Amino acid sequence: ILSSLSGMLTVLLTHNLRNRAQLLRAGFFVGLLVMVLCCIMGVINLQAWDYNLTGVLVCLAVAFGVSMLTSVLISGVLPIIEGAFKIITPISWLEMADMNRPLMKRLQMEAPGTFHHCLMVAQLAEAAAEAIGANPIECRVEAYYHDIGTPFISLKISWTAPIPMMS
């Protein structure tokens, strides 16, 4: 019961994860839930409060601390998991949306018109995604990069065959 309820709360709190701080916040609330459930279910004997205050406080701290430690570890290990299993999480999409990435900076400096076009398309894509229930972050990032090759590819067409002259 304890694992099921804490797992459900974790899923509920991390469903629309937009940054790593939300992951830590989820760990905090799950830790509180685990502490309360441990007290209710008798895992932590609150009646020992009178004669073993230290033991009860340690148990409460462990119940809370495990959830917080888990969220901190997941926050640090998440990039490794994403790379190993080739998973793109909402946090990955947010990192790709960073305008300080070298490719986005280059686009901004070398092709400001294309850069502005990508920003406008991203706003439209994000609004459309929200309207239909799609992933707005993913749509926004894909719109940022949809035209990325245009300014960097020079199309040089050389006509090697002569055009016949009409006399």
Q: What is the pTM of this model?
A: 0.60
pLDDT at 48: 60
Dihedral in degrees, nearest 10, Cα atoms 80, 86, 91, 92: 100
Angle subtended at Cα 15 by Cα 13 and Cα 18, rounded to the nearest 5 degrees: 90
Q: How far apart are CA 102 and CA 99, in angstroms?
A: 8
pLDDT higher than threshold 50 for residue 159: no
pLDDT digits (tens, 9 = 90+) for 96-148: 888 999 989 988 998 888 899 999 999 999 999 999 999 899 999 999 999 88
Q: Note whether 154 and 109 are within 8 A (CB).
A: no
pLDDT > 70: percent of the chain = 84
Instruction: Identify which of 154, 156, 147, 155 has the alpha carbon closest to the alpha carbon of residue 103.
Output: 147
pLDDT at 122: 96
pLDDT at 164: 53
pLDDT higher than threshold 70 for residue 16: yes
Q: Note whether 144 and 103 are within 8 A (CB).
A: no
Per-residue HEC secondary structure of the chain comes to CHHHHHHHHHHHHHCCCCCHHHHHHHHHHHHHHHHHHHHHHCCCCHHHHCCCHHHHHHHHHHHHHHHHHHHHHHHHHHHHHHHHHCCCCHHHHHHHCCCCCHHHHHHHHHCHHHHHHHHHHHHHHHHHHHHHCCCHHHHHHHHHHCCCCHHHCCCCCCCCCCCCCCC
